Amino acid sequence: IAVNFTDQMFKGIYNGRQCHAADIPAVLARAWSVGVDRIIVTGGSLQESREALEIAETDGRLFCTVGVHPTRCKEFEDSGDPEGHFQALVSLAKEGIQKGKVVAVGECGLDYDRLQFCPPEIQRKYFEKQFELAEALKLPMFLHMRAAAEDFCNILTSQKDRFTFGVAHSFTGSAEDRDKLLSFDNLFIGINGCSLKTTENLEVLRGIPIERMMIETDSPYCDIRNTHAGMQFVKSVWPSKKKEKYDPDSTVKGRNEPCSVKQVLEVVAGCKGIHDIHQLSKTLYNNTCRIFFPHDLDAAADAILEKGIGSQ
């Protein structure tokens, strides 16, 4: 689904230190070479959403979201004019839709693991507020849920008539959390490396129907590591070097990239015992197209898929 191209790591900056030049073109070249067809650049604040739209405008295969991440929701209050801040978000989304680039509201939701950044009541208030954006612009929701399943699902229930579809991305919850999400017939579950760390994670994954799943990387985060339970199913690898020894033909150690969505696909296939990985990728790609690119004909999506593994 989505990639955090606004992150400083894609500008070559790690922990405030410049280690190499900005390298999104090299990262994109690797993604296209493994069959990634489209990428959605994630917005996590008003400013990040502006940057995401700017990045999306650089390539016909890039799109973006507009929204405020739960850990950033204090920016509404800190602006001194919460409604004005929200209206700026609305204006940006409208601009992006006119340009054919904005495909979802988000990343928005609840994150109770990181309350040091934003208290829960502020998160809930502006999570609910962003459904107004989805309703007004008829956009799907790109959602974040961390350690907050009960409140998250209560809000989804109260707002269910205000959005068409959504995906709870980077899912790391329990089987109970999974089943709560699957009870919403317009909601998909997004799987990435963070969803595949433990044996329990893989058990939870097995219970997600393929027709309700999407795959993603959430790069530069959520890579699949050697210590992760999902690594046993990974077949695709890329040469990598430390950031201090940057080489545009190699990935950066510890920085995830969109190309590794292929690894996520391999783990889903291996974990579920699916031998026809091409058919699996086709189903997952079509799930993504139906939600984020509904104006595409299925036939066109199928034709694109013949060339590769689908959408990131």
Q: Which segments are annotated as binding site for a divalent metal cation?
A: 107, 144, 169, 218
- Which residues share a beta bridge with 106? 142
Q: Which residues belong to the annotated binding site?
A: 107, 144, 169, 218
Residues sharing a CB contact under 8 Å with residue 221, sequence separation 6 or more, in sequence order:
4, 194, 256
Nearest to 311 by CA among 279, 280, 289, 278: 289
Quote the crossing angle between the two packed helices 46-56 and 82-98, to the nearest 10°: 10
Per the CB < 8 A criterion, the answer to whether 226 and 197 are in contact is no
Count Cβ neighbours within 10 Å for each residue of 27-43 and write b for 16 or more, e otherwise: bbebbeebbbbbbbbbb
Q: Could you identify the residue written with the tokens 């799943």?
A: 213
